[in-house]
């Protein structure tokens, strides 16, 4: 019969996983703390949906830069601080 419609093959799933990982690494390679990433790139970097990202910003948990009337961005510094505040079980 074959695979069910909409189900990915293992090869394709691995390709997509590698692509997402490479994208995450490309965001973190830049050490400039003032570099600004787009809102959608920030959501992908932190592995959550854009609706979750909107809730995070609305709660004030992470600062953002207003790029235009409708566009927001997050600096590498603000993202790092946000991730440090969310980290559990450190020291």
Q: What SS3 class is residue 5?
A: coil
Q: Inform me whether the pLDDT recorded for 72 exceeds 70.
A: yes
Average pLDDT over residues 56-69: 94
pLDDT of residue 50: 95
pLDDT of residue 56: 95
- Look up residue 8 and give its two tokens: 């990915």
Residues 34-47: pLDDT tens digits?
889 899 999 988 98
Do the beta carbons of residue 39 and residue 79 sit within 8 Å?
no
Q: Backbone phi, then psi, for 60, in 5-degree steps?
A: 85, 10
Percentage, residues of the chain above pLDDT 70: 87
pLDDT of residue 6: 75
Question: Domain locations in the chain?
Answer: 34-91
List all residues 6 or more positions away from 49 whose beta carbon is below 8 Å from its beta carbon: 43
Concatenated DSSP letters of 57-76: HHHTSS--EE-SSS-EEEEH
Average pLDDT over residues 73-90: 87
- Look up residue 12 and give its two tokens: 């394709």
Do the beta carbons of residue 67 and residue 25 sit within 8 Å?
no
**Mean pLDDT score of the chain, rounded to an integer?**
86
């Amino acid at each position: 019969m074959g695979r069910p419609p909409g189900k990915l093959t293992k090869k394709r799933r691995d390709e997509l996983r590698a692509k997402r990982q490479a994208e995450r690494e490309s965001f973190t390679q830049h050490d400039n703390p003032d570099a600004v990433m787009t809102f959608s790139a920030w959501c992908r970097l932190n592995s959550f949906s854009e609706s979750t990202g909107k809730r995070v910003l609305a709660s004030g948990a992470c600062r953002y830069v207003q790029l235009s009337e409708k566009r927001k961005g997050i600096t590498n510094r603000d993202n790092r601080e946000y991730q440090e505040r969310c980290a559990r079980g450190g020291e």
